[in-house]
């Protein structure tokens, strides 16, 4: 039996017909995006279960070794940031286990969508594109694609719908990193949509409208 990541879950009033697995950013936890779900104003159907995993606590080298929730260690900040690749890959495998669990709970893979903010998005590029069954889509929020040069995209997700959302004034992950992610995805044969917003490393109302539209379009 898999040792699943601990998660917060939001269950719909009706039997779930689809699932969204949503990863938080560095230093946050699975509760971070729970309050935003009502703001998406999603219709009652399809009934969606939201799963918000908690990252393990790790010492983060670039933050003076402080222990905090992290999907992987960051060795150095900067646009070409150095990171612990084995830890990122292990986090992606942990996401695969959560996808498998949703399938076991009766949700077809094509009705499972991944979302990730910042470091969580970096993991979900790897998790979504290497999963061996077709997924509904990927929401990549204020994030970057650190494994773009090593990833082997599984044919099941070679046409994965992707929405990239990024703040034009992001001081943590400059919008150029989001633009690079789009370019890397296009090199891999995907056709991502990218939206930018006048904001920093955060979310905004206009972005939530786009996120809601994407979820409704693909679930």
Is 118 one of the annotated active-site residues of the chain?
A: yes
> Which tokens belong to 1?
């039996």
Which of 144, 129, 57, 67 has the alpha carbon at shortest distance from 92? 129
Residue 196, by phi and psi: left (phi above 0), alpha (psi -120 to 50) or beta? Answer: beta
Alpha-carbon span 55 to 150, nearest angstrom: 23
Alpha-carbon span 114 to 215, nearest angstrom: 10
Is 218 one of the annotated active-site residues of the chain?
A: no
Catalytic residue among 19, 32, 96, 170: 170
User: Using N-to-C axis directions, what is the helix angle for 85-104 and 119-130, rounded to 10°?
Assistant: 60
Catalytic residue among 54, 154, 201, 212: 201
Which of 203, 113, 208 has the alpha carbon at shortest distance from 162? 113
Query: How would DSSP label each residue in 73-115?
Result: -EEE-STT-EE-HHHHHHHHHHHHHHHHHHHHTT--GGGEEEE
Alpha-carbon span 212 to 203, nearest angstrom: 13
Catalytic residue among 19, 91, 118, 142: 118
Is 100 one of the annotated active-site residues of the chain?
A: no
The catalytic residue positions are: 118, 170, 201
């Amino acid at each position: 039996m898999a040792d699943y990541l601990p998660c917060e879950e939001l269950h719909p009033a009706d039997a779930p017909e689809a699932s969204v697995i949503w990863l938080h950013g560095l230093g946050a936890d699975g509760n971070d995006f729970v309050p935003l779900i009502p703001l998406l104003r999603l219709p009652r159907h399809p009934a969606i279960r939201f799963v918000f995993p908690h990252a393990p606590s790790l010492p983060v080298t670039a933050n003076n070794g402080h222990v905090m929730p992290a999907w992987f260690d960051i060795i150095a900040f900067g646009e070409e940031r150095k990171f612990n690749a084995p830890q990122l890959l292990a986090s992606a495998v942990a996401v695969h286990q959560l996808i498998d669990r949703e399938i076991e709970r009766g949700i077809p893979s094509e009705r499972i969508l991944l979302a990730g903010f910042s470091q969580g998005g970096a993991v979900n590029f790897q998790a979504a594109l290497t999963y061996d069954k077709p997924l509904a889509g990927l929401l990549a929020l204020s994030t970057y694609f650190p494994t773009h040069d090593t990833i082997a995209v599984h044919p099941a997700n070679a046409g994965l719908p992707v929405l990239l959302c990024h703040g034009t004034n992001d001081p943590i992950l400059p919008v150029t990193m989001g633009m690079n992610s789009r370019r890397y995805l296009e090199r891999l044969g995907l056709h991502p949509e990218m939206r930018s917003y006048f904001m920093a490393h955060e979310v905004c109302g206009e972005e939530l409208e786009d996120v809601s539209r994407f979820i409704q379009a693909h679930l």
